[in-house]
Structure 1
Amino acid sequence: MQLENNRVTLTLLDLSNYKHLIEIAKEKDLIFYSPNTIATPEKLKAYVQIATDGYYHKTTIPFIIYDNEKQAYAGSTRFGLINEKNKVLHIGWTWLGKDFQGTGLNKNIKFLMLHYAFETLAFEKVEFRIDERNIKSRKAVEKIGGILEGILRKDTLMQDGFRRSTCCYGILKSEWNTIKNTVFSGF
Structure 2
Amino acid sequence: MKFSMLKPFATALAFMTATASHASDVTTPGIDQLIGTWFVEVTGVLPDGGAYQNIMNVDAGGTADIVGGWMFGAAGMKFTDSPASVTKVDGNRFEIQMFAFLADIESGAPKGLNVTVYRGELAQTAATFTAEADLYYLPCSIEYCPAPNVADLGAPATVAQVAGTRLASPAVVDNSAS
Larger Rg: 2
Fold conserved between structures, TM > 0.5? no
Higher strand share: 2
User: What's the TM-score bracket when you normalise by the shorter of the two chains?
Assistant: 0.3 to 0.5
**TM-score, with structure 2 as normaliser:** 0.34
**TM-score, with structure 1 as normaliser:** 0.33
Higher helix share: 1
